[in-house]
Structure formats: structure tokens, C-alpha cells
Amino acid sequence: AGNDWDFDEDKKDFQHFLDDKVFPQVDELLSNYGPIAQLWFDTPTSISVEQSEKLLAFVREKQPDCIVNSRLGPGGDKEWGDYISLRDNEVPTMPLTQNGETCATINRHWGYNKFDLDFRPAHDIANLLADVVAKNANYLLNIGPDSLGRVPEGSVKVLRDIGRWLETNAESIYETAPTPFASDLDWGAVTRRPGRLYFHMFDSPGERLTIRGLNNAAGKACFLDAPDAALSVSQDPVPGAPGVQDTTIEIGASVPTDIHRVLALDIAGEADVHPETIEQPDGLVTLESLVARNVATGEPMANEIMVRGAVAKSLQDGDVLEWSFETPEPRTFDVCIECALGRYSDGDGNRVADTGHEITIEVSGNSPIEATVEEQERFGVRGNDHWPAIRCTVGSVQIDQPGTHSLRLRVRHVNMGKGGGFILRQVRLVAS
């Protein structure tokens, strides 16, 4: 079942597979081994809605407290279980509004492979862990033991390194809430708990870190690996942006470490941040596709393009997306389009990108920009090379006044191919 590359689909009987294989094995697991905390399904999408409902009901009848993931059903939607399972090695695009999980490999295979020594370094695993937690999801790490149950030495080394990092930084991961900010920050990820924010610094921002839009009064700041070394903190209003302040932490020269450092900032109460998208201190405005408004319906675009917590569906001919954003001063911006790629790869194992999409960009006070989306740059999303993206600059716009502005993206034509079409992740306005 589910194997369409070795076996003829026309000769399969999925109900026979369920009756003779799945139900007996699930019954054995739930009857003979005491309380089972979780069953993790990876069900073929050929399962029907009725079959999924019966399988879930069977689990609920045998052990009502057993947690089930969403891959039990044909569409992977949450109603098939207790939480969302994203696609393999995929991180949510934005914080999930319901429980979710990223399942990821420690090397290039899900099972044991003695030839696969390409283990991801500990700093990559730690970055992914922080990014997943910042998006309100769990991180399920696959390690692939061998036929004798032994964990490969390459996996052991990575896990021990992560364990040592967690001895110092666990409070920034466990029982924390997702980032309160409206979009990803290029230098890292943010987790939080009442009274404290954690800044996971994947890349150094320089000798100071400036956070825009934090409304809380700031207290002590320190790195978790140096808790007694308090750092200087200041808060200042942003000229041209009434009610918005910058919180600046003097972190000093970058200290090289094998795994990223975590900066903790004490705040008064729950995190309270500026709710609107605003230009960051480095001159970047990030417009996430999931928060765009569908002009035709007035509803969030997420309803059309999100699958299991991430941007995965193509825009369509005639779609019009709209965002609002704030800038504190006049500025010229380059307009960059960033697209996710679909699941298909070419003969060399590279993900296929569909390009040639025709769009029009309209920004307040500027002439429309008619452009074609091409591949100018390819990169791993947040360093995750399992899910690459492409980016291109399509023109520039001039913002003459501080305040709130709008950007519309009109889709004139989508070039649909094996790359999945026009899977828009975000529009980035980069100060030029």
C-alpha cells in the first residue's frame, strides 16, 4: 500500500491491506503493551475518508488517551488526529495556531544506511530545534538505528553535543511559547515565557541587537551561558513611528561558538509587541504571504495556499494579494519576491523551480511594476536545504512619507510545471 513505484495500483486492494495488516497490528500494539502514549501514522493518501474515520475510532476505542498524528488521514488535516504533522523536514512558515510537529532526519535517510555519513552538524540541529519551537511545534528527530538497535556513532556525537547545549539553554526550548513577532527575523529565532524573551542568534547582528516594536519595559539581559554578565539595555522611541520603540542590547563583539548562543531579556509580564508589519532597524520589511489579504474575498490568503502549517500551494491567475506595512522615514526599497519550491526534483536531485510567472506590483504613490519572476538566487529556507527557495528582485519603489502604506501583488499569469507553480513565501522590501 502506498508503494506506486514497484506495484501496479490497479491490482491493489487497500481494504484488504487494512483488514489483514493494519487493524491486527494496531490491535496488538494497543492490547499487549500497556498504555501507549502515541501512534505515529504515515498512511498512504489512497486511504479513504471512511477508512480513516474507522481507523481513528478503533484507536480511540482501544486507548482513548493515545495521541494520533494527522497523517492518519488522506489529506493530513488535523481532524484525523490530535496535531498537525508537517511534510518531511519542513518547518512551519509562521507560528501554528494549533499543535504541530516537524519530523526531520539527522542525515540523508530515514532508515539506517551504512554508506550515509552525511550527519547534520549539531549547530544545524540546534538551529532547526529553536526555529521549530519558535513556530509552536515539536521537533521529532529521526536517527535510524542499525539492525541490532545500535545508534550510529555519527548520530551519537551530534546528540551528545546537543545535550550539552541543552544543559545550558533548556529554558529557552522547553515549555516555551512561540515568537510574538509578525515575521521571521533574519538573524535567528525567538521563543518566550511570561517575563522573559529568548533570542536564538543563528547569525551575529554585530555588537548590538536592536528589537523593534517590543512594548514591554525591559529589564536584565544576559546570555544563558554567561548569566552573571548583565548587558546594557536601552529603549528609545522610533522617530516617525508613534508608539513604537526600539530595544537595544549591547552584546559586544561576537564570540565564536560551535552552537548558537541564546540571549535572554527579562520583560514586565507577557510579551507585548507592535501588531503591524514595520520596517526593521536594518531597513527590511518582510511581507509574509500567509498574512496577505485576498482582495477578492477579503480573507487571509493562508486559506488558499497553506498546507499543514506551511506555504505549499500555488497562486492562481487573477489572484490579487494585499499587505499593509509601516515605515518610519522616507526610503527607497528594492522589491524582492521569494518563492518556495515544490516536492519534485530533476535527474540530479535538485528541486525543480517553476519560473516565468508574470506579476504586477503596486505600492502607494508609485507607478506599477510589471515583472517576471525568475530564479536569481537559490537558498535553503532558514538554512534548511531540504526545502530550498528562490528569490529575485523585480524593481524598486520610493516611499516619500513615514506612516502606513500598502502593497498589492497582482498575478497576471502562473507558469505551472513540476515545480508546483507560483508558491509565494514572502515579498521583501530591502532598503537600497
What is the end-to-end Cα distance of the chain in Å, rounded? 54
Q: Does residue 337 lie in a domain region?
A: yes
CATH number of the domain where residue 347 is located? 2.60.120.260
- The total number of structural domains in the chain stands at 3
Q: Is the pLDDT of residue 45 over 60?
A: yes
Those residues whose C-beta lies under 8 Å from the C-beta of residue 346, and which sit 6 or more positions away, are 352
Closest Cα to residue 302, out of 425, 178, 134?
425
- Out of 239, 267, 295, a domain closes at 267
For residues 18 and 159, membership in a common domain is answered with: yes
* Residue 127 belongs to domain with CATH number: 3.20.20.80
Pairing outcome for strands 67-68 and 38-39 = parallel
pLDDT of residue 58: 98
Does 274 map to a domain? no
Does residue 2 belong to any structural domain of this protein?
A: no
Residue 102: all three cell numbers together? 516537524
- Per the structure block, which three cell numbers stand in for 246? 526600539
The closest of 242, 244, 327 to 284, measured between CA atoms, is 327
Query: Within 63-169, where are the H helices?
Result: 122-134, 153-169
Task: Give me the pLDDT at residue 419, please.
Answer: 86
Band of pLDDT at residue 386, cut at 50, 70 and 90: confident
366 in the same domain as 414: yes
Cα 56 to Cα 62: distance, rounded to the nearest angstrom: 10
Q: Is 107 helix (H, G, I), strand (E, B) or coil?
A: coil
> Is residue 158 located within the same domain as residue 218?
no
14-33 as b/e, with b when 16 or more CB fall inside 10 Å?
A: beebbeeebeeebeeebeee
Per-residue pLDDT at 380: 87
The pLDDT of residue 247 is: 99
Any domain includes 272: no
Are 410 and 359 a contacting pair, CB within 8 Å?
A: yes
One domain, residues 236 and 94: no
Q: Cell numbers of 304, please?
A: 488558499
pTM over cut 0.75 = yes
261 and 291 together in one domain:
no
Residues 143 and 206 both lie in one domain: no
Cell numbers standing for residue 336: 524582492
The verdict on residue 244 lying in a domain is yes
Look at residue 354 in the predicted model and tell me its pLDDT. Answer: 93
Residue 245 domain flag: yes
Separation CA 351–CA 343 (nearest Å): 7
CB atoms within 10 A of CB 265: 25
How confident is the model over 184-196, as a mean pLDDT? 96
Backbone angles phi, psi at 182, to 5 degrees: -75, -20
| pLDDT value at residue 66 | 98
Q: Are strands 384-399 and 331-340 parallel, antiparallel or unpaired?
A: antiparallel
Q: Are residues 297 and 420 in the same domain?
A: yes
Q: Can you tell me the mean pLDDT for 381-396?
A: 89
DSSP 21: I
d(CA 400, CA 350) in angstroms, rounded, equals 42
Cα–Cα distances in angstroms (integers) from residue 14 to residues 1, 20, 51, 53, 70, in the given order: 7, 10, 10, 15, 19
Question: Rounded to an integer, what is the distance from CA 40 to the centroid of its chain?
Answer: 21
Q: Is 182 contained in some domain?
A: no
Other Cβ atoms closer than 10 A to 203: 12
Domain-ending residue, one of 165, 180, 209: 165
- Domain assignment of residue 106, given as a range: 9-165
Give the per-residue pLDDT at 229. Answer: 96
Instruction: Tell whether 106 and 144 lie within a shared domain.
Output: yes
Note whether 295 and 260 are same-domain residues: no
Does pLDDT of 161 surpass 60?
A: yes
Write out pLDDT tens, residues 322-379.
999 999 999 999 999 999 988 777 877 788 899 999 999 999 899 999 999 999 999 9
From 217, 236, 267, the end of a domain falls on 267
77 pLDDT more than 60: no
pLDDT value at position 1? 57
Say which residue the cell 502593497 belongs to: 407
Query: Do 354 and 408 sit in the same domain of this protein?
Result: yes
Share of the chain above pLDDT 70, in %: 97
Check residue 56 and give its pLDDT.
95
- 146 and 93 together in one domain: yes
Residue 275 within any structural domain of the chain = no
The mean pLDDT value for 138-157 works out to 94
* Region of poorest pLDDT, from 28-32, 43-47, 134-138, 230-234: 43-47
Same domain, 103 and 14: yes
For residue 112, give every residue at least 6 positions away whose Cβ sits within 8 Å of its Cβ, in sequence order, or none.
144, 145, 146, 147, 152
Calculate the average pLDDT of the chain: 93
CB 100 within 8 A of CB 178: no
